[in-house]
């Protein structure tokens, strides 16, 4: 499968590398075509790794992953001709973190709306599935780093697209996937960020933390 | 110990009953002195169970529990002469749920503020500790209902008060207590409500759900 990854930060690189390891073709897209982080990633990733701008990655990918910073996600998507999003699964990994008030960050959008919903509302031609946004990128691609049982959450409006994301998650090693329902559930998973970030501060690392929903 | 419980709904009654079982004296306070729910609770609880209005419960209690609906909490506390709050531990159990937009509820306050912080900011004479607000009231008083390991979160500005709450939690049967830090962490635990409520809908019961923070 061809994956277009929007965003060349730690998250985009980690997911891109994992997808390459699984035998997929991956293009990382950034704001500009000649992005240093993307070039470094390509150099160390070897064959199969491609880079470009957001538009290039969207054209290339059969499946797209939004790994941009939440605050710039909508602008990044607006830089892409909508026809390149049409009918495609867009996995939204981003969180709408706002660092302008200092640390810990607040959310630019929450409670009565979410980033996942905003994307789906504006880009109706894409099939948005919110996933991965409640764990560190090292855990995203290697859930076994966290010992014991733990969960990953997904939500979205299209069942077939959610099934594709579940399959991808299982390929990544995820054993327990909780499908919360439609895309409005992005409010719930994005609002896990405040406690996740505070636990990170508390424990000194986010590499080995995740949520487990315990129930009988 | 004498406990004043503000609020006579399911949560206040469950906590009041548990405190009685542990040998404490408990007064449940409601908006009016002759509250039907409170009277029913008193009738079935036998000796030691007392009822009154918010002010009576605050005067009575050496430790206070806020079990009112979050939307009316500040007004409930304003109906009490501040001198009856002075120096007392006030355990804030409430969530600022807003049902005016339908189900699932949103939060009346979140992200850059929280109910716990609002209480502490306005009632500086009280020592506010946020606790219990992330689980169903049946789980609050009987954590063993949820099988396996799971966590309860507390936060507040005063260490001695948090130690008192930890002791109470252990008396209730809680084994894993995560102290998140100062009262600003109430933002984090109150923002667990959106996913908690959606999981409740998903699983059909909230009686047996809780969060476990998994880490190595």
With a CB-CB cutoff of 8 Å, which residues 122-151 of chain A face chain B? Answer: 145-150
- Tell the residue number behind the tokens 């390991």, with chain if given: B149
- Residue B106 contacts A where some CB pair is shorter than 8 Å: yes
Burial of A42 from C-beta contacts in 10 A (0-12 / 13-18 / 19+): buried
Distance, CA of B9 to CA of A68 (rounded, Å): 45
Does ipTM top 0.90? yes
Compare A32 and A191 and report the one with higher pLDDT: A191
Nearest to B216 among A101, A146, A213 (CB): A146
On chain A, the residues whose CB falls within 8 A of the CB of B213 are 199, 209-212
| Other CB atoms within 10 A of residue A216 CB | 11
Half-sphere exposure of B115 (CA within 13 A, CB side): 29
Residue of B nearest to A203 (CA): B215
Query: Are B181 and A188 inside 8 Å of each other by CB?
Result: no
**At A24, which helix (H) or strand (E)?**
none
Structure tokens at A8: 């060349």
Q: What percent of chain B has pLDDT over 70?
A: 100
Q: What percent of chain A has pLDDT over 70?
A: 100
pLDDT of residue B68: 98
pLDDT of residue A177: 97
Residue B150 distance to chain A (closest CA, Å): 7
Distance, CA of B140 to CA of B10 (rounded, Å): 11
Distance, CA of A30 to CA of A51 (rounded, Å): 8
With a CB-CB cutoff of 8 Å, which residues 149-178 of chain B face chain A? Answer: 149-150, 153, 178
- Residue B1 contacts A where some CB pair is shorter than 8 Å: no
On chain B, the residues whose CB falls within 8 A of the CB of A202 are 178, 180-181
Nearest to B212 among A189, A202, A212 (CB): A212
Nearest CA to A21 out of A40, A44, A54 is that of: A44
pLDDT-based confidence at residue A210 (cuts at 50, 70, 90): confident
The verdict on pTM exceeding 0.80 is yes
Distance, CA of B128 to CA of B156 (rounded, Å): 6
Contacts of B175 (CB under 8 A, 6+ apart): B143, B149
pLDDT-based confidence at residue A77 (cuts at 50, 70, 90): very high
- Residue B186 contacts A where some CB pair is shorter than 8 Å: no
Q: Is the pLDDT of residue B207 over 80?
A: no
Q: Is the pLDDT of residue B8 over 90?
A: yes
Query: What is the separation of C-alpha B85 from the centre of its chain, rounded to a whole number of angstroms?
Result: 16
- Tell the residue number behind the tokens 């969530």, with chain if given: B95
pLDDT of residue B87: 98
CB B97 within 8 A of CB B73: no
Residue B197 distance to chain A (closest CA, Å): 9
On chain B, the residues whose CB falls within 8 A of the CB of A148 are 214
Each residue's pLDDT tens digit, B142-155: 999 998 899 999 99
pLDDT of residue A66: 98
> Taking residues A90-108, what's their average pLDDT?
95
Distance, CA of B29 to CA of B26 (rounded, Å): 10
CB A17 within 8 A of CB A24: no
Residue of B nearest to A193 (CA): B188
Distance, CA of A30 to CA of A98 (rounded, Å): 20
Residue of B nearest to A195 (CA): B188
Residue A99 distance to chain B (closest CA, Å): 12
Q: Does domain A2-203 have CATH number 3.40.50.720?
A: yes
On chain A, the residues whose CB falls within 8 A of the CB of B188 are 194-195, 197-198
CB A93 within 8 A of CB A3: no
On chain A, the residues whose CB falls within 8 A of the CB of B197 are 188
Q: Is the peptide bond before A104 cis (omega within 30 degrees of 0)?
A: yes
On chain B, the residues whose CB falls within 8 A of the CB of A210 are 213-215
On chain A, the residues whose CB falls within 8 A of the CB of B106 are 111-112
pLDDT of residue A105: 95
Q: Is the pLDDT of residue A216 over 90?
A: no
- Tell the residue number behind the tokens 């040998």, with chain if given: B23
Nearest to A111 among B107, B180, B209 (CB): B107
Each residue's pLDDT tens digit, B104-161: 999 999 999 999 999 999 999 999 999 999 999 999 999 999 988 999 999 999 999 9
Nearest CA to A210 out of A186, A183, A189 is that of: A189
Each residue's pLDDT tens digit, A35-49: 899 999 999 998 789
- Tell the residue number behind the tokens 């409006």, with chain if given: A157
Q: What percent of chain B has pLDDT over 90?
A: 86
Query: Are B212 and A215 inside 8 Å of each other by CB?
Result: no
Q: Is A176 helix (H, G, I), strand (E, B) or coil?
A: coil
User: Which of A96, A101, A111 is the best residue to mutate to test the B interface, defined by the most B CB atoms within 10 Å of its own CB?
Assistant: A111
Q: Is the pLDDT of residue B206 over 80?
A: no
- Mean model confidence pLDDT for chain B: 95
Distance, CA of A154 to CA of A173 (rounded, Å): 15
- Burial of B134-144, coded b for 16+ CB within 10 Å and e otherwise, reads bbbbbbbbebe
Phi/psi for B94 (5° steps) reads -80, 155
Each residue's pLDDT tens digit, A124-182: 999 999 999 999 999 999 999 998 899 999 999 999 999 999 999 999 999 999 999 99
Nearest CA to B208 out of B199, A110, A123 is that of: B199
Minimum mean pLDDT range among A197-201, B54-58, B158-162, B184-188: A197-201
pLDDT of residue A90: 98
pLDDT of residue B57: 98
Query: Are B194 and A199 inside 8 Å of each other by CB?
Result: no
pLDDT of residue A13: 97
- Residue B216 contacts A where some CB pair is shorter than 8 Å: yes
Query: Are B215 and A198 inside 8 Å of each other by CB?
Result: no
Q: Where are the alpha helices (DSSP H) in chain B?
A: 10-21, 36-45, 54-60, 73-78, 115-122, 137-140, 159-172, 186-190, 193-203
């Amino acid at each position: 499968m061809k994956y277009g990854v929007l965003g060349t930060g730690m998250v985009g690189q980690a997911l891109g590398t994992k997808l390459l390891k699984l035998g997929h073709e991956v293009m990382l897209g950034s704001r500009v075509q000649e992005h240093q982080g993307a070039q470094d990633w390509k150099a160390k990733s070897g064959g199969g790794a491609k880079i470009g701008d957001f538009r290039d990655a969207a054209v290339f990918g059969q499946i797209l992953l939004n790994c941009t910073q939440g605050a710039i996600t909508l602008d990044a998507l607006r830089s892409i001709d909508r026809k390149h999003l049409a009918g495609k699964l867009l996995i939204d990994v981003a969180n709408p973190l706002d660092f302008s008030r200092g640390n810990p960050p607040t959310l630019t959008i929450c409670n009565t709306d979410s980033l996942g919903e905003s994307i789906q509302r504006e880009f109706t031609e894409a099939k948005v599935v919110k996933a991965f946004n409640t764990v560190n990128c090292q855990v995203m691609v290697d859930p076994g780093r966290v010992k014991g049982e733990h969960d990953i959450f997904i939500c979205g409006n299209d069942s077939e697209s959610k099934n594709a994301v579940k399959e991808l998650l299982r390929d990544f090693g995820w054993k327990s996937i909780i499908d919360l329902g439609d895309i409005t559930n992005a409010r719930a998973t994005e609002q896990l960020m405040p406690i996740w970030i505070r636990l990170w501060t508390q424990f000194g690392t986010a590499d080995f933390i995740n949520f487990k929903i315990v129930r009988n």
